[in-house]
């Protein structure tokens, strides 16, 4: 039996468009388990969550300001004495927030006509050391799949 947090994560991954097989790999469970929890309503766990005393406040704030971020709600309930983590707050907010009704329009061009590109920077740990990596992303208009390539950045010598 999965925990509520895992079931919510399965539903989030499903809404993102992942197949049951991909979700099962991600969650390290069987594909049939994923299917079961997507079909059935979640049966409440026995016991009390650290978030339970703050759910009423979160619900009230979401009614007043539907676009308020989970991080803002986390800071508010933390000031009221909440001792849990932000992840459960994010999952709870995601589970009760109304879905956006924005319809996306697919945009395609012929091969070789258009692409979108951007440079990015991120930090990771390699060999126990914190390293800044720079990367270049490009999405071709006719593929809609991102292409990510690592680029070595060489420093110029100062004269």
Q: Which of 138, 139, 140 is nearest to 110 (CA)?
A: 140
Q: Which of 119, 120, 112 is nearest to 141 (CA)?
A: 112
4, 45 Cβ separation under 8 angstroms = yes
Query: The pTM is what?
Result: 0.39
pLDDT at 156: 63
Give the pLDDT confidence of 84-143 residue by residue, as tens digits.
Answer: 999 999 989 988 886 665 666 666 677 777 777 888 888 888 888 888 888 877 777 766
């Amino acid at each position: 039996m999965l925990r509520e947090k895992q079931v919510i994560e399965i539903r989030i991954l499903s809404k993102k468009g992942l197949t049951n097989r991909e979700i099962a790999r991600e969650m390290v469970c069987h594909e049939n388990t994923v299917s079961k929890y997507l079909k059935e309503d979640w049966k409440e766990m026995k016991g009390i969550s650290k978030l339970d005393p703050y759910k009423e406040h979160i619900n009230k704030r979401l009614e007043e300001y539907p676009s308020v971020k989970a991080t803002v709600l986390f800071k508010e309930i933390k000031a009221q004495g909440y001792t849990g983590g932000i992840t459960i707050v994010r999952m709870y907010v995601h589970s009760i927030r109304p879905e956006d009704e924005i319809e996306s329009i697919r945009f395609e061009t012929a091969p070789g006509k258009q692409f979108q590109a951007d440079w990015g920077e991120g930090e990771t740990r390699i060999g126990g050391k914190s390293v800044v990596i720079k990367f270049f992303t490009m999405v071709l208009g006719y593929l809609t799949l991102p292409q990510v390539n690592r680029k070595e950045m060489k420093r110029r010598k100062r004269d």
